[in-house]
Homo-oligomer: A and B are copies of this chain.
Amino acid sequence: MSGVTYKTAGVLGGMGPLATVDFLSKVVSLTPASCDQEHVPLIVHQVPQIPDRNRAILEGSDTPYAPMLLGLHRLAAAGAEFAVIPCNSAHHWYERLAASQSLRILHIADAVRQELQRRDMASRRVAILATRGTLRSGLYEGRLGEGSTRIVRVDEHAQLLIDHAIRAVKAGQRAPAAQSASEALDRTLDAGARVLILACTELPLALEYSPRLVDCVDSTLALARYCVAESRAEAPT
């Protein structure tokens, strides 16, 4: 075995279910491992019955908070040492969740900021492709806006396409999701954006086979990279 130790990641998932599977797949892919035992240990709370986060934000409802907090408590009880939430909208409740239980939570917008820096994209004009709830919450602006990153707004037509793509992925309809998401991408690039942040974990699934992915920062992939780095610490030799 190599000189690597692992912290167990707790994944507050199920928002949506396929996005969580995509996140786990990306964690496995990003981990340098030659056998099972070198992979990152994870506890996953895939409980999709948590009320819709986007709708709650738009309606001013607090219903997702209590089941998410319960999920974090269960992850800690099952052995998790830190937590990730592969759902952007859920980060609307990030500060309260972080303050109300013991697990450190890696913020998905911090993961995206790191990815922008890693790919030398931080000074380019970015657009945030997300649910209306995530946009209303402003959870990206606060964490990206401190540097030189300039944010281009997505217009209403593109937002309607994004809304449709997200719903379609959640209903298992990948082909119409791909079409809507691609149209939204093209429209937003035409409007002057140079980098598209896929700030909803359903969007990478809609765009899985798109050649436009080179212009995108996938928040699921960014969070997976952050999670692997956090879990794997080189042991002192």
Binding site for B on A (CB under 8 A): 6, 8, 11, 14-18, 20-21, 24-25, 28-29, 31, 33-52, 74-75, 77-79, 170-172
Contact assessment for A78 and B171 in the assembled complex, using a CB-CB cutoff below 8 Å:
no
CA distance A79 to B34 in the complex (A): 32
Known: A20-B24, A40-B48, A41-B46. 9 other contacts (CB 8 A): A6-B49, A14-B36, A16-B36, A17-B36, A21-B28, A42-B46, A42-B47, A43-B43, A74-B79
Residues of B close to A35: CB separation below 8 A: 52, 170-171
| Copies of this chain held together in the complex | 2
Contact assessment for A14 and B39 in the assembled complex, using a CB-CB cutoff below 8 Å:
yes
Residues of B close to A42: CB separation below 8 A: 14, 44, 46-47
Q: Which of B15, B50, B78 contacts A45 (CB 8 A)?
A: B78
CA distance A38 to B37 in the complex (A): 34
Contact assessment for B36 and A170 in the assembled complex, using a CB-CB cutoff below 8 Å:
yes
Q: Which of B16, B24, B36 contacts A52 (CB 8 A)?
A: B36
Contact assessment for A78 and B43 in the assembled complex, using a CB-CB cutoff below 8 Å:
yes
CA distance A6 to B48 in the complex (A): 11
Residues of B close to A78: CB separation below 8 A: 43, 45, 74-75, 77-78
CA distance A33 to B17 in the complex (A): 11
Contact assessment for A43 and B170 in the assembled complex, using a CB-CB cutoff below 8 Å:
no
Listed A/B pairs (24) with beta-carbon separation below 8 Å: A11-B44, A14-B36, A15-B36, A18-B25, A18-B28, A20-B24, A21-B24, A34-B170, A36-B48, A37-B48, A37-B51, A37-B52, A40-B48, A41-B49, A42-B46, A43-B44, A43-B45, A43-B78, A44-B44, A45-B78, A47-B79, A74-B79, A77-B78, A78-B78
